[in-house]
Structure 1
């Protein structure tokens, strides 16, 4: 596997040059590398997408390592998650990206990662929500202006039936300020553009890492 080179030329699924598509692909490649550097997309885990102004959705192809994405690793899908070109295979979880785009008209990018913190914390409890309170970084999320707040991050059971999982998620989308977690699996965050989505992902992962460290400290104190 190798990184995309500056000489490679991105093209739309139809094969014609398209500046907007090129930009979306570059954003996905950059985000994939950044997520990989932080250990949030191990092996072939995770998926990333961008919605263009004209409604097209660029999403990572199924099975690729997100730290070594090339332009060929990004494909176009419709709002129902179906690839525009029959030979292109998106992840089954693409439907969860499309659900966010359909629900939030201003959503421009969706990121899904598999970090150690989100995996461990969501498996350590059977609670349907994980709470984050009094952290300065909470201000990265939409509508938050102070650290003196408490946000709930919904946790959904992992389900290989993505359509069924999406129906569970749909019930809570309106109240999600910091994204959501699939238990033992990973997080979903989004934003009006890739920069915002990436900032929110980094914020959430930082907070989850803090929560994991606090849980370790509490366990150490109890054992002492």
Structure 2
């Protein structure tokens, strides 16, 4: 039990740190967004619904199992918790999931024609897994903002069955999801993608 508490404490500290950083960068305004980390094959720790991520403490986190059952009495998970669960179910290599609501990601998800956003020709792409050169490209799917979360999760799962190397996705008018082997890698992915989103939005503004 002591080892479990230590493991939970380490994961919680990583999520608290990421939440503060993202909030102060403007990527998780008000109470928007959600952060989670895998504890084991059956459980995760995730931010409680309605919590300001810039003021997040251990009391703003909770445990949920991968069937969606609340393991922290008296706490309320976000309605989007199942979007985290579906990723952990997919692969034991996914150790953390992060969901941001930046201006750039939200705007791009609304103005891009079609159901995907392609990012290309930027040095920061090389910081992402599987990208070896700056002139490579990466494509993110854009899903409609379906309030039926299980249905939305099924769409995400279906897409990833067909495109297993997908590193993240956008929800139209809503925000961005990405993940990693652990919280540190997922946080790195958020930073890289948010920079790429900013660049893409600026380029689109400059085009005649």
How would you bin the TM-score normalised by the shorter chain? over 0.9
Q: Offset of 1:16 from its aligned partner? A: 10
Distance 1:17 1:53 in 2: 10
Distance 1:214 1:82 in 2: 44
Q: Provide structure 1 residue ranges, at least 5 long, that are not aligned to the other structure.
A: 1-11
Q: Offset of 1:86 from its aligned partner? A: 4.2
Residue 176 of structure 2 corresponds to which residue in structure 1?
A: 187
Distance 2:205 2:102 in 1: 17
Distance 1:92 1:135 in 2: 35
- Aligned residue pairs total 206
Q: Offset of 1:62 from its aligned partner? A: 0.3
2:74 equivalent to 1:96: no
Distance 2:105 2:112 in 1: 11
What aligned pairs does 1:53-92 form with structure 2 within 5 A after superposition? Answer: 53=40, 55-92=42-79
On the 8 A contact 1:58/1:75 being kept in 2, the answer is: yes
Report SS of the residue matched to 1:171: helix
Distance 1:111 1:92 in 2: 15
Report SS of the residue matched to 2:179: strand
Residue 147 of structure 2 corresponds to which residue in structure 1?
A: 160
Residue 207 of structure 1 corresponds to which residue in structure 2?
A: 196
Q: TM-score, normalised by structure 2?
A: 0.93
Q: Which structure is richer in relative contact order (CA contacts within 8 A, separation 6 or more)?
A: 2
2:134 equivalent to 1:143: no
Q: Offset of 1:113 from its aligned partner? A: 0.4
Distance 1:43 1:67 in 2: 8
Q: Offset of 1:85 from its aligned partner? A: 3.2
2:28 equivalent to 1:31: no
Q: Offset of 1:141 from its aligned partner? A: 2.1
Question: Which one has a bigger Cα radius of gyration?
Answer: 1
Report SS of the residue matched to 1:155: strand
Distance 1:17 1:195 in 2: 20
Distance 1:165 1:126 in 2: 20
2:21 equivalent to 1:47: no
Moved over 6 A (4+): none
Q: TM-score, normalised by structure 1?
A: 0.87
Q: Provide structure 2 residue ranges, at least 5 long, that are not aligned to the other structure.
A: none
On the 8 A contact 1:142/1:177 being kept in 2, the answer is: no
Distance 1:96 1:83 in 2: 15
